[in-house]
């Protein structure tokens, strides 16, 4: 055992290390245990453990970790020096063993399956119910309420699928990092990682079914649109001198939300509405006319983006490799944060053609516009690169296996 005795951590070795976990060179580390003088039964980290109370006498022994692991009391804590190599090994074992949380869960019942199907049908139209006329609103108010509830459920299901898929990906990636640090864990980890990969792919497909590829392509088309030039419109009169500034703010708000989201372009119009409303403040004169003018502007921007997306339909698709980041581990009392944008996550889930479990890398076959946006604007902590830029005919799986991700330039 390490000679550093100043600082200690009390660790439940018996619950961290199942007997089947390989220990590598750590198996020879001596740990201090307490046991019944008969030499039988469990080994304990605390001489006051309640299961030792019936023992006539208790001995303290130093025993190699590898010999002790099958007899460790699951309720005891062992005092270990903070520089003990057992501590980082235990953390790595935890990363792999945590995969079992997501395995052998009950299969989804028919109600869950039907809810997923209905969510896919609803979201194929958009994130919100189609707009109804004033007459329709009055004639069937209860029906409209039910329709809004249906779309709320659909969006929630999509968000849950997205979050669960990303969470599983993070668990798998962290277990890979643990095995890379301790290669002797690989035989034990292999089965768990293989099973989790299958669960991960099921979640990816379920999430992708709730996203529209056309919306992802149109979002990428927005990025390449030229910045619109301000022109005076009678509808802007109520904004006075703030008209041009409001115009530019509206374009920026709409385009940034559109570029990095999985929703239809029409579903981003609230960002424009908010900019215009903020510009008016409490003033009402000219406000309805301004909103109408900006609705037309937004419709024009959408038309231009769809025209650009359609123009590139015949452009050859690109094979791209990405290494998606794990969820950011914040303080234990805070939720984990995902650095991937909604658009990036949806693109990875939708266009995956190969996945390398051991490296956590993904090959995507994507439209040209989407490839360009990934390569130019991807999250700083997500390496992205063309696969087969020299025209290699190797399958995506082989190319992905050869790819060595490099950090993106800051």
User: What is the widest separation between alpha-carbon atoms in the chain?
Assistant: 97
For the segment 162-186, what is each residue's pLDDT rounded down to a tens digit?
A: 999 999 999 999 999 999 999 999 9
Written as six digits, the tokens of 242 are 């703030």
How many whole angstroms separate alpha carbon 255 and alpha carbon 250? 8
How many whole angstroms separate alpha carbon 336 and alpha carbon 331? 8
pLDDT band of residue 160 (cuts 50, 70, 90) is very high
Q: How confident is the model at residue 4, as a pLDDT?
A: 45
Q: How confident is the model at residue 166, as a pLDDT?
A: 97
For the segment 331-360, what is each residue's pLDDT rounded down to a tens digit?
A: 666 778 999 999 999 999 999 999 999 999
Q: How confident is the model at residue 106, as a pLDDT?
A: 65
Residue 142 has pLDDT above 80, yes or no: no
Q: How confident is the model at residue 53, as a pLDDT?
A: 80
For range 13-26, the mean pLDDT: 94
3-state secondary structure of 158: helix
pLDDT band of residue 77 (cuts 50, 70, 90) is very high
Residue 137 has pLDDT above 70, yes or no: no
Percent above pLDDT 90 for the chain: 76
How many whole angstroms separate alpha carbon 66 and alpha carbon 347? 46
Q: How does DSSP assign 119-140, residue by residue? A: HHHHHTT-SSPPP--HHHHHHT
Q: How confident is the model at residue 1, as a pLDDT?
A: 43
Residue 135 has pLDDT above 70, yes or no: no
pTM of the model: 0.89
């Amino acid at each position: 055992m390490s000679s550093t005795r100043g600082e200690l951590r009390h660790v439940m070795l018996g619950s961290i290390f199942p007997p089947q976990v390989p220990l590598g060179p750590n198996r020879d580390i001596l740990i201090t245990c307490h046991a019944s003088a008969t030499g039988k039964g469990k080994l304990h980290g605390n001489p006051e453990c309640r299961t030792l109370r019936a023992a006539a006498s208790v001995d303290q022994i130093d025993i190699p970790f590898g010999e002790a692991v099958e007899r460790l009391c699951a309720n005891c804590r062992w005092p270990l020096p903070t520089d003990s190599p057992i501590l980082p090994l235990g953390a790595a074992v935890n990363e792999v063993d945590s995969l079992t949380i997501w395995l052998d869960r009950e299969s989804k019942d028919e109600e869950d399956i039907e809810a997923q199907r209905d969510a896919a049908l609803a979201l194929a139209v958009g994130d919100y119910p189609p707009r109804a006329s004033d007459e329709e609103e009055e004639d069937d108010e209860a029906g409209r309420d039910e329709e809004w509830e249906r779309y709320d459920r659909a969006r929630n299901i999509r968000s849950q699928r997205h979050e669960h898929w990303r969470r599983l990906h993070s668990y798998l990636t962290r277990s890979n990092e643990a095995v890379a640090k301790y290669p002797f864990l690989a035989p034990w980890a292999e089965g768990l990682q293989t099973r989790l990969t299958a669960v991960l792919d099921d979640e990816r497909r379920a999430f992708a079914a709730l996203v529209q590829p056309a919306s992802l392509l149109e979002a990428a088309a927005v990025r390449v649109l030229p910045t619109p030039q301000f022109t005076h419109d009678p509808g802007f009169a109520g904004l006075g001198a703030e008209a041009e500034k409001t115009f530019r703010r509206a374009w920026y708000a709409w385009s940034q939300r559109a570029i990095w989201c999985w929703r239809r372009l029409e579903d981003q119009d609230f960002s424009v509405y908010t900019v215009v409303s903020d510009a008016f403040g409490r003033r009402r004169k000219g406000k309805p006319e301004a909103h109408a003018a900006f609705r037309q502007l937004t419709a024009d921007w959408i038309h231009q983006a769809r025209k650009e997306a359609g123009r590139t339909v015949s452009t050859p698709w690109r094979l791209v490799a990405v290494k998606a980041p794990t969820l950011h581990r914040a303080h234990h009392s805070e939720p984990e944060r995902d650095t991937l944008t909604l658009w990036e996550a949806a693109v990875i889930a939708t266009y995956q053609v190969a996945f390398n479990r051991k490296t956590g890398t993904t090959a995507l076959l994507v439209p040209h516009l989407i490839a360009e946006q990934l390569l130019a604007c991807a999250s700083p902590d997500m390496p992205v690169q063309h696969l087969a830029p020299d025209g290699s005919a190797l399958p995506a799986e082989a190319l992905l296996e050869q790819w060595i991700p490099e950090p993106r330039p800051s």
